[in-house]
């Protein structure tokens, strides 16, 4: 297949039918400007040929690292299918309208949680967080919970894909796609 987005779509659809939990889970790897890496699981919420989008607090560690070094790697691993997809690329913020639309689709308590969580910052105890949740529930008593200015989405625009398919005796199949002008240069890697 010459189009990595079409192949990703096919594999994701298979994962949605096969994976018992969160087939849209992906490992996001970022690094500081001095090269210290960190990785965590996030959920893919939107994707198209412009890139792969996840949402988070813009004051979190991952957001700080992205601002300092706007490159990231993603890893989708679907154990039941014996497959993984690696993606590498530049990272940019989504438009406010896109973030607003996604934020409005979230359950009310998730929207309240975005306000209450000082994500990645030290927390004295769980009670402190629960108190903050109650404070924001009182501040926003109805369904209208506006998106905080410190919460948005990041888009990873791929420059590289690797599709890995497990094979017997560790003779895995590895297909690569590297951005080349308006298209993709394809290749294979030894297992």
Indicate which residues carry an active-site annotation: 170
Strand ranges in 58-128 using DSSP code E only, listed in sequence order: 71-78, 83-93
123: left (phi over 0), alpha (psi -120 to 50) or beta: beta
Give the contacts of 65 (CB within 8 A, at least 6 positions apart).
Answer: 30, 31, 32, 38
Strands 71-78 and 25-31: antiparallel
Which residue blocks in 84-125 are alpha helix, DSSP H?
Answer: 96-105, 108-116
CA distances (Å), 20 to each of 16, 80, 108, 122, in order?
8, 9, 25, 32
State how far the Cα of 153 lies from the Cα of 104, in Å rounded to an integer: 13
Burial label, 120 (beta-carbon count in 10 A; 0-12, 13-18, 19+):
middle
Length of the chain equals 191
State how far the Cα of 164 lies from the Cα of 26, in Å rounded to an integer: 15
């Amino acid at each position: 297949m010459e189009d990595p987005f079409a192949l990703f779509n096919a594999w994701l659809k298979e994962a949605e039918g096969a994976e018992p939990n969160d087939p849209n889970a992906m490992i996001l790897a970022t690094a500081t400007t001095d090269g210290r890496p960190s990785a965590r699981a996030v959920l893919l919420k939107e994707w198209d040929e412009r890139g792969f989008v996840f949402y988070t607090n813009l004051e979190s560690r991952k957001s700080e690292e992205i601002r300092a070094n706007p490159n990231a790697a993603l890893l989708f691993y679907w154990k039941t299918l014996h497959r993984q997809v690696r993606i590498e690329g530049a990272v940019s913020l989504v438009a406010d309208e896109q973030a607003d639309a996604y934020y409005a689709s979230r359950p009310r308590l998730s929207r309240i949680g975005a306000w209450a969580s000082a994500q990645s910052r030290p927390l004295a105890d769980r009670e402190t967080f629960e108190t903050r949740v109650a404070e924001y529930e009182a501040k926003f008593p109805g369904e209208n919970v506006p998106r905080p200015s410190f919460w948005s989405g990041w888009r990873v625009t791929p420059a590289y894909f690797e599709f890995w398919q497990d094979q017997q005796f560790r003779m895995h199949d590895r297909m690569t796609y590297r951005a080349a002008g308006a298209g993709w240069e394809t290749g294979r890697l030894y297992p």
